[in-house]
Structure 1
């Protein structure tokens, strides 16, 4: 993972990130310098991530969702994100290919990391997403989507699943790719 105490990004991590993202060496080096200023120990903790994430959603409660996002990118389960994990997260959520974004979305919904998504996991993530939607926008949601439970039920119905059924990753990705309504239900796009 590179030397997190070094003031320079290791060549190995730099090459890996260049190969797996669309970012240039200059961009990665610049972002690394900023990351090191913000996180001198080379790692960001979940509470710090939640605080930063909260800045993007000042009129809502994004902490629960941020916690799930953090979990999905903390690939080594050490309770922190290093620069590599941080850049991969940035790439996937902002500019990655649709299929990769959906792989990430599946990992977000797979709260217990067992390789399947249950309806209770869907409800947990949708509840976190719902808390990010400002009240005035919630009031404008369609009747069948104006609560986390209704959204979870609607999503589950799109997959034609029973209460105790599970969704595997491939089925999740295929379902979302084939149905724009599912994509809309599993994310929140702030109004501009």
Structure 2
């Protein structure tokens, strides 16, 4: 899911109008001065995120150009993704992603919420990214991931991809992925995945993949 969310965040940035490479080298290419678009708490956002001041200015200009009101509604959020996935139905996944970004739950995505989420996903530590991913899966925010929640997420991802992907997706494919997910992460087999189980399993997989990569080289 993290890779899917990462890709969709890049899609969102580009659709907002920002040709934003997310690298420090690219930052030097921009000489930006638009005080009228500068949010009052730009300096605070720089301290709270992993973006530079120029990157925040650039993102804010793109954000305001697309959303003059200063907020993104869920309908606009869904529309952005639907334009990039015409063969599938991106609305359900976009709904879950919107709720993950909308941290105060008011139904509108502010610039502060937008860049805070992007910073975690794109430049956060492994712990930050995994914590964000767990909260994304935990749809009812009760501190556990259930099979039902995971199934909803998996179905939304396959709906996003559409019916014409290759190889073709069978009806049982989402359920198979959910069962595989729980076999790896549900250590005590109680049908619930805690944040501790999630973190431990994900980090173990990361280290195992790194070990295999090093052995191959």
TM-score computed with the length of structure 1 as normaliser: 0.78
The runs of 5 or more residues in structure 2 that have no matched partner are: 1-35, 207-217
Counterpart in the other structure of 1:187:
none
Q: Does 1:26 align with 2:36?
A: no
1:119 counterpart residue number: 147
Q: Structure 1's 62 and 98: CA in aligned 2 closer, same or farther, altered over 3 A?
A: farther
- Displacement of 1:161 in angstroms is 5.9
Task: Please name the residue that 2:203 is paired with.
Answer: 177
Q: Structure 2 vs 1, CA of residues 96 and 37 (structure 1 numbering), >3 Å: closer, same or farther?
A: same
Deviation at 1:114, TM superposition (A): 1.0
TM-aligned CA distance change 1:99 to 1:55, over 3 Å: farther
After TM superposition, give the deviation of residue 154 of structure 1 in Å: 1.3
Q: Which has the larger radius of gyration?
A: 2
Instruction: Assess if the C-alpha contact under 8 Å between 2:147 and 2:191 holds in 1.
Output: yes
Task: Give SS of 1:116's match.
Answer: coil
Q: What is the deviation of 1:19?
A: 1.9
For 1:79-90, list aligned pairs within 5 A. Answer: 79-90=107-118
Mapping of residues 147-186 of structure 1, within 5 Å:
147-160=173-186, 165-179=191-205
- Does the CA-based 8 Å contact 1:73-1:86 persist in structure 2? yes
| Structure 1 residues not aligned, in runs of 5+ | 1-5, 181-192
Q: Distance in 1 between matches of 2:66 and 2:152?
A: 31
Partner Cα distance (2:90, 2:117) in 1: 17
Q: TM-score scaled by structure 2?
A: 0.70
The Cα shift of 1:22 comes to: 2.4
Per-residue Cα deviation, 1:42-66 (whole angstroms, up to 9, x for no partner): 1101111111123343432222111
Q: Secondary structure at the match of 2:140?
A: coil
Q: Deviations for 1:11-60, whole angstroms, at most 9, x for unmatched residues?
A: xx322321232211112112212211211111101111111123343432
Q: 1:134-145 residue pairs with structure 2 within 5 A?
A: 134-137=162-165, 139=167
1:42 aligns to what? 70
How many residues align? The count is 172
RMSD over aligned CA atoms reads 2.6
